Amino acid sequence: MTATDVARGGEIGFKITPEPSPSLESAFARQLDAMVRRTCRLARAVVGAEQAAVQLWVTDASCAHKYFALSERYAAFRGFEVDPKGVGLHGMTIPPGTAVRLNQVEVLAHPRFRSFAPFADVHPPLRGWLAASVWGDHSLPYGLLQLSDKSDGGDFHETDELSVLDLATLLGAGLDALRLACSATGDSPWRLG
């Protein structure tokens, strides 16, 4: 596993991935990395959240790459690394065009919430949760866009949900374009979605 730190304007962003395959085309990896990092930063800014994450499924939810954008409030979690497995809330299947919005009480009471076991002591806390699946053409699932900890201390609301759905749709369209461009040249080692 590797973690790459990026500090930008009071924001701490990092990407967590399993070790990349030697066959991972560098141009493809750079384009994918830049697109997903920007989506995390945009999601935080547009919704006003302290945490944003995108989990991309390389082949399915059990083989994922995860990207984070965290505010300074979460600087203590800069070194957090885990190989995402798509379990708990992070493993939910959310149909295209819908989002899941939970306040803190609903997160703790949700049957899929597992308190990040066995990482409960080192995982960033989940203070409310807003998530939408990232889908491409022909209902091709790419992953999950997630936010937590509304900056104003309140709960996420309907306008936040609509913004996350728009960003998830935009990311899906971008991933479709990248997938098609790379498959046309034979450069993509991943089967995204």
Residue 33 to residue 131: CA distance in whole angstroms: 20
- pLDDT at residue 189 above 60? no
The answer to the question of residue 190 being in a domain is no
pTM of the model: 0.78
The answer to whether residue 191 sits within a structural domain is no
- Convert the pLDDT of each residue in 75-116 to its tens digit: 877 766 665 555 566 667 788 889 999 998 888 786 765 565
Convert the pLDDT of each residue in 37-83 to its tens digit: 899 999 999 999 999 988 887 655 556 677 888 888 888 777 666 65
Q: Residue 71 forms beta bridges with which residues?
A: 11
Tokens of 134: 């990232």
Closest CA to 167 of 137, 145, 147: 145
Residues 6+ apart with CB under 8 A from 44: 11, 50, 51, 52, 69, 71, 147
Q: Percent of the chain having pLDDT more than 90? A: 27
- The rounded mean pLDDT for the chain is 76
Tell me if 193 is assigned to some domain: no
148: domain CATH number?
A: 3.30.450.40
